[in-house]
Amino acid sequence: MPLEKLKIHLQGDSKVGISVELLDQKQVNISMLPMSISNLNAAEQTFTFNAGFSITWFDRNLAWNKTDYDNITKVVISKKFVWIPAIAIPNGIGSVSLALDRSPVISNTGIATLPFLESLKTSCQIDITRYPFDQQRCSILFMPANDYKLGVHMTGSIITRLPPFFIDNSEWELADIHAKVVDVQTEQISSLVSFEFFLKRKSMFYIVSIIFPMALLSLLNACVFLLPADSGEKMSYLISIFVSYAVFMNFVNDSIPKSGDVCRLSVYLSLILCQSCLAIITNMATLNVRNNSRLQPSNDNVNTDGTERPQEKSVSKVRRTDHILFGVFVLLALVSLLVFCV
């Protein structure tokens, strides 16, 4: 039978292995198709994803004339009879090499293709300075473990659109993937292949559940200067807001990535807390001035010549000061939001 004859041709040749004749000056090419983004851990500085890979290489000893074998163009042959490239992952965590234990597909032209699926975990330098509006770049490196050159099918951006079976991540959006060959020029290794993932955090959750409520609380700080001092509720109003900050920040701290870097959200929360403390101190000062003016002995508000007495002038001055402070604290609340734009 033609298939048995072809089997003997491929498996019986002792010369089966990597060819010294190269295609496009590359012995092995690798391509990747993303399947899902599993996790990006800022505390551990790790990146986990699932992807489909395809490795191709040329071996002239595996080629055959299809007319001699009933027009058979492709076969799957056991890896025991075919040279399989060994590929290492320098920045891998847990596993530092690809488990290429599958059988390749051989074409009659001598092109061997080895498709496989892999879940990989690599180290990634994560910068959370702009959290929650940050963008991250995580790379996976492939290094030839044997004496051959490793390349890619296509350099630059390798995805024009995500495949229909791609599983979206609830926190991260995959913006792009760039493939490139890095020249190392060492005695053992000539080049590395790098696939660089560009990830963008989905920030709408943080805007709605953290930034917007904290911005409202900062505006409420300013509203204390619109309350009449005679109501006696100014200090209790500010203390209630300050306690609300403390309770709310317990929830916020759980959502902030634990890292040595200070993120913009932490800076914003610190500014809002300082505004609350400043509002308490300022309000205490204005109340003290108002009460001191009332302690001055006076029975009438107007002099005989029709002008306001000093006590009434002081009260009027305090009211104008309250209006000015209201505008100042509203401006501080709005300016604090600019920390996310810097």
Task: Count other Cβ atoms within 10 Å, centred on residue 55.
Answer: 21
Tens-digit pLDDT profile for residues 106-136: 888 888 899 988 999 999 998 888 988 999 9
Return d(Cα 82, Cα 41) in angstroms, integer: 39
Which pLDDT does position 23 carry in this prediction?
47
Tens-digit pLDDT profile for residues 295-305: 555 555 555 55
254: left (phi over 0), alpha (psi -120 to 50) or beta: alpha
The pTM (predicted TM-score) of the whole model is: 0.78
DSSP 21: S
Return d(Cα 338, Cα 129) in angstroms, integer: 14
71: left (phi over 0), alpha (psi -120 to 50) or beta: left
Q: What CA–CA distances, in Å, run from 180 to 140, 156, 157, 270? A: 11, 6, 9, 42
**Bridge-based pairing state of the strands 87-88 and 135-144:** antiparallel
Average pLDDT value over all residues in the chain: 82
Q: Output the tens digit of pLDDT for each of the chain's 342 residues.
A: 666 666 666 666 544 454 444 444 457 899 999 999 999 988 888 999 999 999 998 888 788 888 888 888 888 888 787 888 888 999 999 888 887 778 889 888 888 899 988 999 999 998 888 988 999 999 999 988 877 888 888 888 888 777 888 998 999 999 999 999 888 777 677 778 999 999 999 999 889 988 998 999 899 888 888 887 777 788 888 898 888 888 888 777 777 777 777 889 888 988 998 999 999 998 888 888 777 766 555 555 555 555 555 555 666 776 788 888 899 999 999 999 999 887
